[in-house]
Amino acid sequence: MSKRSVGPFSVNPVGLGCMNMMHAYNAPISEAESDKLLNRALDLGYDFLDTATIYGLGESERRIGKFLKHRRDEFVLASKCVLGFSDGKRTLDGRPEAIISACEASLKRLQTDVIDLYYMHRPDPNVPLEDSVGALAGLVEQGKIRSIGLSEMSADMLRRAAAIHPIAAMQSEYSLIVRNPEIAVLEACKAVGTTLVAFSPVGRGLFAQTPVNPADYWEGDMRRSFFPRLAEPHFSENMKLVPAAREIADALGCSMPQLAIAWTLAQAPEIVAIPGTKNIMHLEENFGANDVTLDPDQITTLNAVFAPEAISGPRYSPRGQASVTTELFPFE
């Protein structure tokens, strides 16, 4: 699969999401394991690494800076602000002065002079979007960041932001079990020249080769309470759809994660996927999705089986849903 554009950059369609190293699904991996994982990613050809201030309360950024500073010219580096931390607690602050301060802190942790793509991780309802984007535009002018992104925001917010400054990327969850970008965001991305960066394309593990039973989730696993589709009673209902995907994966001779990622990439040439993992074997497997091509009939079958109305449970808990503005289907 040929490279795809993210703002001024050209990257492989499969990038690396760097949240999983530090939290969300299982216990964080060690520094030594992070070193091996990150360097193996670059060796394989991953050239787009996506992290954020909030991941591990800065620890994901720090490890990327520590272990990849000698290879900085080999990858496009993305990070995020607005969602941050203070005194070990999560914060949400989209004020211009907070964005400028967060960028300086991220630059230090990442041990770099410039961040290639800097996102607003979430909208701050207490700060006009235009003010936040204006601060990011100022950071571009200063050479602290090279391009601007948004995350988990609506098509309207994307258009408003693009009126202030070109928006290189809109990050949104997009997979066979989360198709909300199809409502309006994907069309808006095409209209304003923005790449959709799809996170969790493997359905937060639903399309793993061997999915984890919710009863076996780690005690701190966010799927226990934050992502209802991955917890009971919805997990079992959604798993009933998976054999149809497995049949297609077997016909293609690929793994389930590769099929899920390839489906996401097949939806539009303006999409880049960023599956995350702590596991080097999975890292290698995910990158192999670059070589998987689905035919139109296979895509049609998957689209029908995993129609949005066929998915059981909400995408987020009420608390999680309240923090995003991505459009909902009428039945959600």
Identified catalytic residue from 55, 118, 217, 316: 55
Cα separation, 255 vs 257, in Å, equals: 6
Using CB atoms within 10 A of its CB, is residue 240 exposed (0-12), middle (13-18) or buried (19+)? exposed
pLDDT at residue number 88: 85
Q: What is the pLDDT of residue 77?
A: 98
Which segments of the chain does DSSP mark as H helices, in order? 31-44, 59-68, 96-110, 129-141, 155-164, 185-192, 234-239, 242-252, 256-266, 280-287, 296-305, 318-321
Task: Give the model confidence (pLDDT) of 259-280 as tens digits.
Answer: 999 999 999 999 999 999 999 9
Q: How far apart are CA 147 and CA 131, in angstroms?
A: 16
Task: Provide the pLDDT for residue 115.
Answer: 98
Residue ranges for the chain with pLDDT beneath 50:
none
Q: Which two tokens stand for residue 19?
A: 């949240």
Give the model confidence (pLDDT) of 92-123 as tens digits: 999 999 999 999 999 999 999 999 999 999 99
How many helices (H) and strands (E) would you count in the chain? 12, 12
Asked if 77 contacts 115 with a C-beta cutoff of 8 angstroms, the reply is yes
CA distances from 316 to 81, 88, 157 (A): 21, 24, 20
Q: Is the peptide bond before 233 cis (omega within 30 degrees of 0)?
A: yes
Give CA–CA dist 59/207, Å, rounded. Answer: 28
How distant, in Å, are the alpha carbons of 26, 117, 187, 216 from that of 239? Answer: 21, 35, 29, 16
Beta-carbon contacts of residue 18 (< 8 Å; ≥ 6 apart):
49, 50, 51, 55, 60, 64, 276
| Nearest CA-CA partner of 154 in 332, 328, 315 | 328
CA 113/CA 120 separation, integer angstroms: 19
The pair of structure tokens assigned to 293 is 């091509």
55 carries an active-site annotation: yes
